[in-house]
Structure 1
């Protein structure tokens, strides 16, 4: 089975993430897409981060009826901050019969040389890159690349958190069941 790993803070998960995950699951040779909830991205500040278990639960809620998508909390048990190369090694030991690939936006792909042991990643794992406006793919970094034109929604989790804090509606940007759960638990207030 070929599994695409879509890493993210998902703080909170929104329609933009879901469109990309679903598009990749149904428009590539991948059998499944795992949305890997990162406890902490080494390249992002963690001050505005909702607890990882809560973010994981929101991802589960968002994808509960989609058989090709799966929420993964695999990084919760690994040392922090989590580095993709370590997560891939752990997954390879835990699921030796699966083939893992990485899914990322062209903006993240441009930063790949800043990742820990990125040469090992590009040598051993195919990377599925979806284009993001303003972030052209001009360099492959030696990776086996599959470039995708997934539908893009120009919304950000940062904006969603801000609007929730201001009491504004985020309907249609976040799945209804996720909005309800966020409201019930007073997240991002």
Structure 2
């Protein structure tokens, strides 16, 4: 089975993430998308992150019963910060019958050369890239495929700020995620 790994803090997951995941299913040979909740991204500050179990729960609520989406906590028991190459190695060893690929925003591709063992990732895994607002990235490699998708400029930062300021986030996040945030008084 071809599995697309969509890594992220998902702090919170929003409709942009779901739109991109759906487009990747439709326009690539991927059979499933696994939303890998990263407990600690080595390139982000920890003080803005909700607890990893809250973020995982929001991903579970957002994907509901979509049979081709899965929420993954694989990095929760791995050393922190989380490095993509280590997670890929672990998943490949654990699931030898699956072929794993990365789903990456074009903004992350710009800094991909700074990732731990990025050459090993390119040697062994395909990368599907979706466009992000801003400068276009020229990255020519046989394992990198740019996928046509709408430019979605929704950010978790915008959503957190809106919640903190008492503004509506309706349609920016799934209704079940919004209810969870309200019930737990998150981002306030």
- 1:51 alignment partner in structure 2: 51
Question: Is the partner of 1:47 in helix, strand or coil?
Answer: helix
* Deviation (angstroms), 1:103: 0.4
- 2:74 alignment partner in structure 1: 74
Runs of 5+ unmatched residues, structure 2: none
- 2:139 alignment partner in structure 1: 139
Runs of 5+ unmatched residues, structure 1: none
* Deviation (angstroms), 1:151: 2.2
TM-score (norm 2): 0.97
Deviations 1:60-104 (A, max 9, x none): 000012111111110101000010000001001110110000000
- 1:151 alignment partner in structure 2: 150
Distance 2:92 2:9 in 1: 22
Distance 1:143 1:121 in 2: 12
TM superposition outliers: structure 1 runs of 4+ over 2 Å: none
- 1:14 alignment partner in structure 2: 14
**Contact (CA 8 Å) 2:132, 2:153: kept in 1 or not?**
no
**Contact (CA 8 Å) 1:165, 1:188: kept in 2 or not?**
yes
Question: Is the partner of 2:103 in helix, strand or coil?
Answer: strand
What is the aligned residue count? 188
* Deviation (angstroms), 1:23: 1.0
Distance 1:83 1:126 in 2: 17
Question: Is the partner of 1:21 in helix, strand or coil?
Answer: helix
Question: Is the partner of 2:187 in helix, strand or coil?
Answer: coil
TM-score (norm 1): 0.96
Distance 2:65 2:170 in 1: 19
- 1:5 alignment partner in structure 2: 5
Distance 1:148 1:135 in 2: 16
* Deviation (angstroms), 1:143: 5.2
- 1:128 alignment partner in structure 2: 128
- 1:100 alignment partner in structure 2: 100
